[in-house]
Structure 1
């Protein structure tokens, strides 16, 4: 079984990937939902970091530093950096941002590795819905130093059109910022996992395919 199928099973076991009838922030009615806030144990976080590390290794990405946007990205970047060292011997820096700049002590917005010009940074996030977070993060990184943002790694690519236009949030990030976004899995991987019996949910398959037909990108 590929690590993609392992990850899909892992998400369902953790209650992160669920099926049913959900109303999204966009107002769309979706037959599935991804809630990364349901990761809550040390064991889960350790395993999650390994999946991110495997995705990075699989795509041949060689970052100097992992950046985890506050707040959800913080544990993701930390767990991924640990997994990269434990699994692949890659000793990668990590850092994250404060929501408000600290005006005492060492000060500043960045916690962890202090960024330097030319540093290769990979952003670690959970999902991209509207691309709002990435638009806030890039100025933070560029204000810290003239870094090179190598890529962004997320857990699930919904491959879903935005409210305006026919591009997904992932495609918009590539168009607007020239940043490649890699996901551990896509919605197509999840659909195939249901079809192949990797996870339960065949009763939702027709709704999944219809939703994909209505809102999905190629």
Structure 2
């Protein structure tokens, strides 16, 4: 399994080379002028999707999503039953990550009881019917996986879907935490707000944060870009 430094550095390299992560001047929905932009619509090549799935699997294979210590057989059991990808961007993420977890399992059975599910935007009235594709959620511990959290609307919708189906949300994993205040009146980041809304016992984690971009890329992105990232963090950085 890759170390934390390895998977983050490896993923960042892929994100930059594919322009999923780019640097310049971008106006966000909030009206802020951001020195970087993250667009997951470009996560569609095999190498890029593999690097993304590998990084996500590394996070899911460690606490709090999996047992902090191996059991008597050396197995670190997962603390969830279902990986749920909200339509639409969460769908390829949950399927790719489940495939990566299966490859890493290598027949040991650590992850044999973990499944994936995702929702349809509109319920299907024929065939198997319903709005859920994949494993049933009733009575299951569910981790939501998505690209980013902005206003939290999509997350609340996903939680509502899972609870309606009888599942219990036990964690959230997103690709990027911008680590900036949601607004001038809210000192927490979108991830921090999500953590508060779900309660202290439901972990919300990000694969990457703005701090990783600054610390792991450094001068690789150019002194001017690095300077602007640090200035942006100083101006809009969220409380932990």
Measured against the shorter chain, the TM-score band is over 0.9
TM-score of the superposed pair, with normalisation by structure 2: 0.85
With CA pairs under 8 Å and 6+ residues apart, which has the higher RCO, 1 or 2?
1
Distance (whole Å) between structure 2 residues aligned to residue 143 and residue 102 of structure 1: 16
Cα displacement (A) at 1:60? 4.4
Task: Report the equivalent of 1:84.
Answer: 101
TM-score of the superposed pair, with normalisation by structure 1: 0.93
Does structure 1 retain, via aligned residues, the 8 Å contact 2:175–2:206? yes
What SS does structure 2 have at the residue aligned with 1:25?
A: coil
Cα displacement (A) at 1:11? 1.1
Does structure 1 retain, via aligned residues, the 8 Å contact 2:94–2:145? yes
1:97 pairs with 2:119: yes
Cα displacement (A) at 1:58? 2.9
Q: How many residues align?
A: 214
Moved over 3 A (4+): none
1:65 pairs with 2:86: no
Does structure 1 retain, via aligned residues, the 8 Å contact 2:162–2:168? no
1:140 pairs with 2:144: no
Structure 1 stretches lacking a partner, 5+ long: none
1:162 pairs with 2:182: yes
Q: What is the alpha-carbon root mean square deviation over aligned residues?
A: 1.4
Select between 98-107 and 37-46 the one with higher mean Cα deviation: 37-46
Distance (whole Å) between structure 2 residues aligned to residue 187 and residue 130 of structure 1: 18
Structure 2 stretches lacking a partner, 5+ long: 66-77
Task: Report the equivalent of 2:73.
Answer: none
Equivalence map 1:7-156=2 (5 Å): 7-61=11-65, 62=78, 63-89=80-106, 90-91=111-112, 92-117=114-139, 119-145=140-166, 147-156=167-176
Does structure 1 retain, via aligned residues, the 8 Å contact 2:11–2:51? no
